[in-house]
């Protein structure tokens, strides 16, 4: 991103500084974020706000003479990112400081860019993001270099989006704080700098709807990596739907505990795990497409992903409570034709209910399903388990279907799959839309509550339905 002359920025600093001297920054009295003009200005300027160090939002122009707004540091007042400008993240940008309650509103059709690996957008506990895009005007979060010339397998160009909530998670007694609450530090910051965790499973961190996140997932170290979208103990008061994450170097979506629910999730080109959870996630998800073959791995040499779904309870304390136990319905997994890990990996003591899904590995890379760790088997109890369950699943997976077949566990993965009623059949998909073999599998609605739409078929796009990925998620 080419930001023009320092003199222009200094001029804008002076003008915005004069405006700020007359503004009211009292966050406690801010009105509804959907109608408020707090922190905004006219259609030709950037938000009239300062970060916690007193630095205002810098304005400039890009190479097309379009307005740019540059953010850095921590913002404790509510403001709006308007779609008349491109919004640039400089370093890790924080909304709130764990004691304040600002609301970041992002207008439909807005573009946000990160210029380097450390650039990220972070919504801290108590703060909210209201990013309500639309099918015709999605919100785009992407790299500053995303001008149509990036390689098909470009990755890790910036940090991504992280949301920290106040819902519960699991940990050992030694990890609890003085109030007995499980609290941890977020990745991407110095140890202890940003925390997540609390005791409110109904916590509300805002709205993400029709949001596309591209080329994120920067890794500081092998143990400190940012994802496309990270949800840290986010509560079920939060609304998340119609999200695409494309070409993240680390996970596409990773959920750390909490109770957040998701619908219409589209994950492509993710190089670690496309959909990952740990530390006691107990939410729900419906309509998920994981396409490891986009971008085409034959021509995109860096598209060699790991797992499609990696599901843990707690890697260090497998039986920690509350135990991970989500319900996930209507998913489609398409395995990479060149290289991939497990398409569904259940481990570290997790429970889960998987319903109405399709798993495809036409290249026989496998395994398609793996169950690991004695605690996972013990928690399930038996092959007809109702706490580790897979119902109305079609699997097209060649020879390498299952792992963990050495008999050392309580039961084998293949015996579990047979008892659960997983159907092995050749897929007849037309794109993502179901064909005859998919429609022949009886759909399961018995285990779905009011959060879920009532599915007519298994999979993510019914045979007579519209592909919900089209239009808004185009890259």
Asked if residue 467 is part of any domain, the answer here is no
Residues 336-357, mean pLDDT to the nearest whole number: 97
Q: Residue 220 has what DSSP assignment?
A: E
Asked if residue 189 is part of any domain, the answer here is yes
Q: Give this prediction's pTM.
A: 0.91
Residue 10 pLDDT > 50: no
- Residue 39 has what pLDDT? 66
Q: Give the Cα separation of 64 and 142 in Å (integer).
A: 18
- Residue 211 has what pLDDT? 98
Residue 23 pLDDT > 90: no
- Residue 404 has what pLDDT? 66
Distances (CA, A) of 414 to 263, 265, 330, 381: 29, 28, 22, 15
Asked if residue 17 is part of any domain, the answer here is no
Q: Per-residue b/e over 77-97, b at no fewer than 16 CB within 10 Å?
A: bbbbbbbbbbbbbeebbbbbb
- Residue 406 has what pLDDT? 57
Asked if residue 276 is part of any domain, the answer here is yes
Q: Residue 420 has what DSSP assignment?
A: H
Asked if residue 79 is part of any domain, the answer here is no
Question: What is the chain's mean pLDDT, rounded?
Answer: 90
Residue 7 pLDDT > 80: no
- Residue 124 has what pLDDT? 98
Residue 30 pLDDT > 60: no
Asked if residue 475 is part of any domain, the answer here is no
Q: Helix, strand or coil for residue 10?
A: helix
Q: If 0-12 CB within 10 Å is exposed, 13-18 middle and 19+ buried, where does residue 290 land? A: buried
Q: Residue 380 has what DSSP assignment?
A: H
pLDDT (tens digit per residue) in 279-290: 999 999 999 999
Q: Helix, strand or coil for residue 16?
A: helix
pLDDT (tens digit per residue) in 191-211: 778 999 999 999 999 999 999
Domain that holds residue 266: 91-106+113-439
* High-pLDDT (> 70) share of the chain, %: 90
Residues 222 and 245 sit within 8 Å (Cβ to Cβ): no
Residues 136-150, mean pLDDT to the nearest whole number: 96
Q: What sign does the CA torsion over 337, 251, 345, 242 have?
A: negative
Residues 346-361, mean pLDDT to the nearest whole number: 98
Asked if residue 359 is part of any domain, the answer here is yes
Asked if residue 36 is part of any domain, the answer here is no
- Residue 137 has what pLDDT? 98
Beta bridge partners of 230: 162, 254
- Residue 63 has what pLDDT? 86
Q: How many domains does the chain have?
A: 1
């Amino acid at each position: 991103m080419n930001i023009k002359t320092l003199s222009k920025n200094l001029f804008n600093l002076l003008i915005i500084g004069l405006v700020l001297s007359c503004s009211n920054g009292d966050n406690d009295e801010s009105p509804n974020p959907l109608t408020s003009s707090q922190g905004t200005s006219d259609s030709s300027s950037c938000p009239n706000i300062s970060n916690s160090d007193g630095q205002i939002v810098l304005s400039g122009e890009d190479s097309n003479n379009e307005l740019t707004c540059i953010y850095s540091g921590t913002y404790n007042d509510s403001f709006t990112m308007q779609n008349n400008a491109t919004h640039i993240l400089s370093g890790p940008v924080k909304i709130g400081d764990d004691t304040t309650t600002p609301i970041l509103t992002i207008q439909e059709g807005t573009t946000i860019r990160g210029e380097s690996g450390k650039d990220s957008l972070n919504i801290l506990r108590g703060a909210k993001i209201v990013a309500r895009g639309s099918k015709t005007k999605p919100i785009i979060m992407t790299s500053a270099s995303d001008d149509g010339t990036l390689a098909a397998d470009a990755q890790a160009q910036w940090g991504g989006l992280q949301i920290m909530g106040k819902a519960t998670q699991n940990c050992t007694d030694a990890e609890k704080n003085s109030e007995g609450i499980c609290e941890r530090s977020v990745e991407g910051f110095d140890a202890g700098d940003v925390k997540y965790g609390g005791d409110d499973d109904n916590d509300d961190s805002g709205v993400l709807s029709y949001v596309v996140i591209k080329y994120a997932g920067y890794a500081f170290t092998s143990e400190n990596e940012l994802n496309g979208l990270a949800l840290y103990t986010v509560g079920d008061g939060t609304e998340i739907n119609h999200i695409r994450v494309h070409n993240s170097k680390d996970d596409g979506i990773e959920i750390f505990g909490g109770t957040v629910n998701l619908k219409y999730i589209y994950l492509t080109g993710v190089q670690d795990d496309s959909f990952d959870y740990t530390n006691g996630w107990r939410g729900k998800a419906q309509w998920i497409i994981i396409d490891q073959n986009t971008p085409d791995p034959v021509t995109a040499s860096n598209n060699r992903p790991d797992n499609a779904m990696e599901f843990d309870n707690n890697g260090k304390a497998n039986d920690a409570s509350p135990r991970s136990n989500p319900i996930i319905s209507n998913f489609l997994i398409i395995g990479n034709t060149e290289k991939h890990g497990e398409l569904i990996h259940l481990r570290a003591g997790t429970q889960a209910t998987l319903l109405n899904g399709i798993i495809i590995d036409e290249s026989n890379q496998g395994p398609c399903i793996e169950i690991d760790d004695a605690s996972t088997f013990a928690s399930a109890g038996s092959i007809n388990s109702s706490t580790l369950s897979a119902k109305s699943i079609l699997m097209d997976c060649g020879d390498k279907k299952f792992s963990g077949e050495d008999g050392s566990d309580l039961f084998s993965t293949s015996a579990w799959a047979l008892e659960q009623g997983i159907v092995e059949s050749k897929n007849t998909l037309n794109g993502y839309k179901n064909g005859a073999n998919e429609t022949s599998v009886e759909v399961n609605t018995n285990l779905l509550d009011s959060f879920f739409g009532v599915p007519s078929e298994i999979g993510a796009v019914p045979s007579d339905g519209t592909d919900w990925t089209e239009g808004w998620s185009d890259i």
